[in-house]
Structure 1
Amino acid sequence: MTKKLWGAVAAVVVVVVAGLGGKYYMDQQDETIEALYPTAPGTFVGDPMPYYDGTDFLIYYLEDHRDGEIGFHPFSLFKTRDFYHYQNAGEVIPYVNEADDQERALGTGSVIKDEDGLYHAFYTAHNGDLDPKEAIMHATSKDGEKWDKLPDHTFFASSAYEANDFRDPYVFYVEESNNYWMLITTRQDGTGVIAKYVSDDLETWTDDGVFFKNDIGNDSNLECPSVVIYEGKWYLAFSDQWDQRVVHYRVADSLEGPFEKPERGLDHVDGAGFYAGRLETDGENLYLVGWIPTKDEHDDRFNYNWAGNLAVHQLRTSENGLVGSLPETARKQIETKVITAEQLTGETIPTTDKAVIYSGKIKGSDDGVLALSFSKDNQVLINLAEQTISYQNTTIETLERGAPKTEMPIVVSDGKFDLEIVKEQDIVVVYVNGRALSNRIYKAKTSDWKFVTVQGEFSLD
């Protein structure tokens, strides 16, 4: 489990019963977590569902206990204003810990507040032993933390869609039509689509056809959709369930579409080490809220798996599409260290328990390959020859025989680039000119690290 820096505990820990199956958990309400990439103690973060309530970002998520229970993935809640101090409200919507219940597992959903101030959660109820496996369910709350389930409002896929792939509802109010829209991940005619359902009262939903069809050249499901307006444009985000496994985005002038790939640049801001990102805005700033996965057996030799640590990129527009950075409110909370010439030429950089940003303007030769070497077996590579940034769990000497675990194209002109390395425990997020590469590197938690020039030349600019 990732070690974190914890704030003051403001509540007495009590034992309460969660779910019908008698599962017990520790309620850590009002505990404050200080971290750029938080988890609750002993558990992991899956599929965040952020909602800005005008003051706080309420980040609901699927909590991954990995405890062997029949049921899994309750909704839990972090609340934050700066993406560094998180109030841990704990579990807020439980699953039903019974083998034959539709809610044996909760799946991704969304939260919205109506005009009367009542919170509404719409979520997936999943049971792989049932047919259909998935349903959309509804709950309401006066404060966003204590929820009442409304099972009478449950609905399943219409005949137009694949009933066993029908999940991840994202609900928002549309002023132009004076009703609510729900985007749902599903399948039609053998490929992934995002369906659109509509409602006047948040209780009864009507199928209104396909909102968006897979356009990425495969038949992948388009998971965890979200849509927001930012700087006069509508942005749609979704996660590619297989193949690339990245968070894509599309742009349109109106909700009616068409939602298309950006005219310039990539259609994603991070690699496969960041997943299930949902868009949210406070009216001025745009954020992408996802998770950085753990690895099988918590070992750098193995592949990424499901759930991990919460991670947030702040997004902004550029001539090359959307680019990302650490949220500015979080940046103010932690130390920034300027990369020195001595460090760039191989001086060892001590690891630290605290979150740190390492920042610098770098110039490299056209054929340059620069490694951030976290132990002898873990390299983050900035490759100017191929215009990529990647992570390989291999040695410098065997790079050519290995393959990237995750990779992102970058745009570097004249060999000059802004480099930012955000390190907290075993999380390493590298930004090169606004392109991000999120990584879980367990050795980074305990090992000192250094820059290694693999090819060409590098210097401070």
Structure 2
Amino acid sequence: MKKKILILVITLFVVLLLTSICVKKFSELPGSSHIPSEDARHIVAVHNTSTNPFIFPSIGGGFWDPFPSYWDGVWHLYTLRVNTFNDVIHLTSTDLVTWNEHKPAMEGSGICTGTVVRNKDKYYMFYTDNEPQTIRLVVSDNPWYFDFSKSVLVAEADDKVYTLEKRKFRDCYVFYYEKEELWWMLAEATSQGKVAVALFKSKDLLNWTQHDPIFMDSVRGHGSCPQLIEKDGRWHLTMLDYPNWYYVASDPYGPWELGGYYHSKHISGASRWDTDSKRWCGWGFFPAYKTPEGDFDYDNGPLSVGRELVFNKDGSLGVRPLPELVEAIQKPQNNANLFACARKYRGTWKVDAGKQELRCTDDQGGILVFDLPEKNPNYYFEADVELPISQTKVDIVVRASEGFDSGYRIAIEPDKKVAAIRHFTSYDGVFDEMPHVSDDGKSFNVKVFVSDGIIEVFVDGRTALSTHVVDCSNYRVAIEVSGGEATISNPLLHYFKVNAI
């Protein structure tokens, strides 16, 4: 009996010794941290984006530069809070519709854009130290808590290849490049007086070696939040330079060919993506800028509608709203019966609820106004539009007035190959405009998110428009057809509840 007790005691001692060694070994990793006694996974707010698609942080202010990660069926959205540099906000979702906001993943000072990656059950938060413009790292045993006091320096400008003459060495992006079996780090930098994307490499995520930039351009004013994405043998380099630009190459070292931009300047920080191995998802935020209604001199978010990156056959990029969000919105709850409230304002229309069709049969066009049952100016509107000739123009007017003399126009002009958000009267100017070519030149799908002071539009699942707006006094929707006939099919309106959490 004594022998068995002795063996048990020795076994327990060995187990405790090995455990302490493992803990000590991890704690000696540069930048390592443990989850605090108070559970950082505590949920401080829940955001349902089918109820309100634009998220603000519960602790006030707005968002900057989101950088998403995906592990084990959970999307982790890390993002900065505007004008603070003091914390990293952390949201998670398993369905891309409902988001749990947690306590900040890290709190400190001078915290700017970075990346969170996982390797061998450890989590590595790389971030920019704002004032010196250097890249630092905190390692954790979980994705919920990173101890700022354990931060270590991992990369900085060497004043030779990379200089700080333009105060840019920031916005690090880290990923594993399988071909070289190395971790790569990209950062916005300056080299030879040009905007550059710096390159560093590592075997262990702790020790990094500097390399020549993979990209330099004297035309760009910024190369913020750079990222590399490979798809079907093409490499795409995305970056923010107001708007969000992308370049295409057959090799991650370049040479790079300018592809264009997939967002206008009205969405910022939307060049960071992550993948669940099936698609790439990302978010942006709404910055300050001037619109036809005046200057928006604040920089307080919110986050944009979540979007999925679209890789077109010709190598170009586009974006579409997250399919999970659209599917949740299309469910019958909080949806209006548009056919019951359609009012013929001008021209000849056939309203067929059975076929889910609204047909303008007047060759001069016409106007249809929806006198919606709720006086709620916040909603999602979707429809398919078919035109007999490409010269016909269709405007979806949101927040339209009863007498059809005010509102915001979603203008789709196939013959001019543009999509735009415009003020009701053309002389009041354009809020946002993007080039757009429909597949056949005569039909398109439009999805419109209108909530509080924001409008976002997605056309044909690849073109996005975004803007701040002021007027929330009107709540109707209208359709204006000019220069011909048109068929609007499968119209849907879903109400948002802006203040609901």
Shared fold by TM > 0.5?
yes
Give 1:454 deviation, angstroms. Answer: 7.6
Tell me the SS of whatever aligns to 2:258. coil
* Change in CA separation of 1:205 and 1:177 when aligned onto 2, cut-off 3 Å: same
Please list, as runs of the form range in 1=range in 2, the aligned pairs for 1:221-370 lying within 5 A after superposition. Answer: 221-240=222-241, 245-262=242-259, 267-277=260-270, 278-293=272-287, 300-303=293-296, 306-311=299-304, 312-319=306-313, 321-335=316-330, 341=358, 345-348=367-370, 350=372, 352=376, 356-363=380-387, 365-366=390-391, 368=393, 370=395
Alpha-carbon distance in structure 1 between the residues aligned to 2:485 and 2:283: 33
- Confirm whether residue 406 of structure 1 aligns to residue 432 of structure 2: yes
Q: 1:124 is matched with which residue?
A: 128
Tell me the SS of whatever aligns to 1:268. strand
* Change in CA separation of 1:345 and 1:441 when aligned onto 2, cut-off 3 Å: same
Amino acid corresponding to residue 142 of structure 1 in structure 2: D
RCO comparison, higher one (Cα < 8 Å, 6+): 2
Q: 1:112 is matched with which residue?
A: 117
Q: 2:445 is matched with which residue?
A: 418
Give 1:437 deviation, angstroms. Answer: 0.7
Please list, as runs of the form range in 1=range in 2, the aligned pairs for 1:53-132 lying within 5 A after superposition. Answer: 53-64=71-82, 71-96=84-109, 103=110, 106-114=111-119, 116-127=120-131
Amino acid corresponding to residue 421 of structure 1 in structure 2: V
Q: 1:148 is matched with which residue?
A: 147
Contact 1:228 1:281 in 2 (8 A): no
Of 17, 31, 43, 1:29 maps to 43
Of 41, 47, 51, 2:69 maps to 51
Q: 1:6 is matched with which residue?
A: none
- Confirm whether residue 38 of structure 1 aligns to residue 37 of structure 2: no
Range with greater deviation from structure 2 (175-184 or 381-390): 381-390
Percent identity for Structure 1 against Structure 2 = 19
Give 1:295 deviation, angstroms. Answer: 6.2
Give 1:377 deviation, angstroms. Answer: 5.9
* Change in CA separation of 1:379 and 1:89 when aligned onto 2, cut-off 3 Å: same
Amino acid corresponding to residue 119 of structure 1 in structure 2: Y
Give 1:334 deviation, angstroms. Answer: 1.3
Contact 1:369 1:385 in 2 (8 A): no
Structure 1 stretches of 5 or more lacking a match? 1-25, 97-102, 128-132
Count the aligned residue pairs: 401
Amino acid corresponding to residue 439 of structure 1 in structure 2: T
Give 1:27 deviation, angstroms. Answer: 10
* 1:94-141 residue CA offsets vs partner (Å, 9 max, x unmatched): 233xxxxxx2xx211111111x211101111113xxxxx412111122
Alpha-carbon distance in structure 2 between the residues aligned to 1:257 and 1:404: 36
Contact 1:299 1:442 in 2 (8 A): no
Q: 2:220 is matched with which residue?
A: 219
- Indicate the RMSD between aligned Cα atoms, in angstroms: 3.1
* 1:9-57 residue CA offsets vs partner (Å, 9 max, x unmatched): xxxxxxxxxxxxxxxxx99735321113222223312100011113111
* Change in CA separation of 1:331 and 1:299 when aligned onto 2, cut-off 3 Å: same
Alpha-carbon distance in structure 1 between the residues aligned to 2:194 and 2:409: 36
Range with greater deviation from structure 2 (319-328 or 84-93): 319-328
Tell me the SS of whatever aligns to 1:331. helix
Give 1:192 deviation, angstroms. Answer: 1.2
Q: 1:204 is matched with which residue?
A: 207
* 1:155-211 residue CA offsets vs partner (Å, 9 max, x unmatched): 421112232211000011122222211100012233211110112222222220111
Tell me the SS of whatever aligns to 2:302. strand
* Change in CA separation of 1:414 and 1:235 when aligned onto 2, cut-off 3 Å: closer
Amino acid corresponding to residue 136 of structure 1 in structure 2: I
| TM norm structure 2 | 0.72
* Change in CA separation of 1:323 and 1:148 when aligned onto 2, cut-off 3 Å: same
* 1:256-306 residue CA offsets vs partner (Å, 9 max, x unmatched): 3334334xxxx333322222111221101122322233668x994324753
Alpha-carbon distance in structure 2 between the residues aligned to 1:186 and 1:331: 38
Contact 1:355 1:423 in 2 (8 A): yes
* Change in CA separation of 1:317 and 1:179 when aligned onto 2, cut-off 3 Å: closer
Contact 1:187 1:221 in 2 (8 A): no
* Change in CA separation of 1:28 and 1:119 when aligned onto 2, cut-off 3 Å: closer
Alpha-carbon distance in structure 2 between the residues aligned to 1:458 and 1:425: 33
Amino acid corresponding to residue 53 of structure 1 in structure 2: W
- Confirm whether residue 389 of structure 1 aligns to residue 389 of structure 2: no
Structure 2 stretches of 5 or more lacking a match? 1-39, 339-355, 361-365, 401-405, 489-501
Alpha-carbon distance in structure 2 between the residues aligned to 1:188 and 1:137: 21
* Change in CA separation of 1:257 and 1:81 when aligned onto 2, cut-off 3 Å: farther
Give 1:348 deviation, angstroms. Answer: 3.2
Amino acid corresponding to residue 379 of structure 1 in structure 2: R
Tell me the SS of whatever aligns to 1:275. coil
